[in-house]
Structure 1
Amino acid sequence: MRADWSELAQAAERNENGQMVGVRVEWAGACQPPRVELEGRYCRVEPLNDAKHAAQLFDALHRMPGGANWTYLGHGPFSVLEDWRRWVEESAALDDPQFYAIVDRTDGEAIGLCSYLRIAPADGSIEVGFLNFSPRLQRSRLATEAMYLMMRHAFALGYRRYEWKCDAQNEPSVRAAQRLGFTFEGLFRQARVNKGRNRDTAWFSILDHEWPARRRALEAWLDADNFDSDGRQRTSLSQIVAARP
């Protein structure tokens, strides 16, 4: 989804000085995400734990030729398990980013990594990031469900704004954001230097008043009846979104 500035701008009103200001917000506030397990039909999203997840994730995330799944991340790949364990141990202790492992419910294997970050309860804004999906997780029901579980949890905690940011050259991430129902807000040019290369950052978001429609579409796509006996989708998420504006 994409819109120009006039379409993206929120409602406003005139104050006593004749200035245009944002409308008043009746909002109870958001909570710091607790470290809880998010249970889905196909996957679990578990707080990252060195002893439980490090070895499994090291194996799962180092299977792509050339380490292609690490290209747009600021860290990795890791040549030895000990270095990876150190990164996992340090990262699991952080409050922001707050890291999670994506676990396949069929066998309990950790096959991907994600996090909440830039957590701002006072503003009601939170971002999903540090996404690293193994070949087994990529383009799967589990990947979509994991992102759905993270979204659902954030909005349940009272957040008004859920962000997705990625390297503008990371086409799979851009497509994933659009497929999941995020709105493209703009490009931050030369936002960072990542592994010695320029990074323009693409910004996407879903707002709280948009979430109910996104939730219905995601739940309809994830429903078991949407897949045949071979696991092939009957209706794509984009088709469901188009049919359920």
Structure 2
Amino acid sequence: MTRHNEFGQPIGPDVDRALSAPTPGRVTLLGEHCRLEPLDAAAHVSGLFAAFDAAPDASDWTYMPVGPFASEADYREWAEVAALAQDPLQFTVVRNDSDEPLGTLSLLRQDPKNAVVEVGFVAFSRAMQRTVFSTEAHFLLMRYVFDALGYRRYEWKCDALNAPSKRAAERLGFSYEGTFRQATVYKGRSRDTSWFSIIDTEWPALRAEFTRWLTPENFDAAGAQLTPLRTQK
């Protein structure tokens, strides 16, 4: 039921918790299949560039604000700067069984005062896309944001023309909120931006579903899922 103030105007619910939330930190987040490590140019660049360079073309960089990178040296130059930034705070996804870096993602547009943060700058190599590593990497970052830091809202934004990113957001449990027209310009192109979010009241059910999906019993001997991720409301 909507409540009203003394003037008869509808108002939102009280926030009965402490704010601000903590600022995201350079932490390592360990999962069953992979882990997230703070981006370290010395440790990760060679493996990351090799993983990205194995793709048959540069289409994975079309909707990214940076890239493609012509050489490992070019990528290293970018990574050395990116690794020092607090926002975006870049993480590398590393396989547990081989210590091989597979991709990166970040926490950006950090707003600890309102306990809001965005996941973005997602660069997953072909060896990572549509695998358990991709899903678990996102789960690890969500769990850190909601359970460790206590954020209220977790955002996903992408080019409105980036259909794979929009499908990924919906599969992972994000709710579509609308499209901001001509929201930004990148690579000389105008971008309409689609907005998605997960809020803290939705997280317990999503956490349980990710945990169920990631159990070893949900995968066959070849590593294929037996049941899909069921995150739709």
TM-score (norm: length of structure 2): 0.96
Q: What residue identity is the alignment partner of 2:74? A: D
* CA shift for structure 1 position 205: 0.3
Aligned to 2:134: 143
Equivalent positions of 1:84-99 (< 5 A) are 84-99=75-90
8 Å CA contact 1:28, 1:158 repeated in 2: no
Which runs of 5 or more structure 1 residues have no equivalent in the other structure?
1-10
Does the 8 A contact of 1:37 with 1:46 survive in 2? yes
2:214 to 218, 222, 229: 222
* Corresponding residue of 1:62: 53
Q: Aligned ranges for residues 1-245 of structure 1 at < 5 Å?
A: 12-29=2-19, 30-156=21-147, 157-238=149-230, 241=231
3-state SS in 2 of match to 1:237: coil
Q: Deviations over 1:158-187 (max 9, x none)?
A: 100000111111111111100011000000
Structure 2: gaps (5+ residues)? none
Aligned-residue Cα RMSD (Å) equals 1.2
Per-residue deviation, residues 14-67 of structure 1 (Å, max 9, x unmatched): 112222221111122311112110000000100000110011111111222221
What is the alpha-carbon distance in structure 1 between the residues aligned to residue 78 and residue 186 of structure 2? 18
User: How many residue pairs are counted as aligned between the two chains?
Assistant: 231
Conserved 8 A contact 1:70-1:76: yes
Q: Deviation of residue 196 (structure 1)?
A: 2.1
2: CA distance, partners of 1:12 / 1:237: 34
Q: Calculate percent identity across the aligned residue pairs.
A: 49
Stretch of structure 1 that moved more, 62-71 or 49-58: 62-71
Instruction: With the length of structure 1 as denominator, give the TM-score of the two structures.
Output: 0.91
Aligned equivalents of 1:131 and 1:185: distance in 2? 20
Secondary structure of the corresponding residue to residue 116 of structure 1 = strand
* Displacement of 1:12: 4.3
Q: Counterparts of 1:49 and 1:96 in 2: how far apart (Å)?
A: 15
Specify which structure has the higher proportion of helix: 1
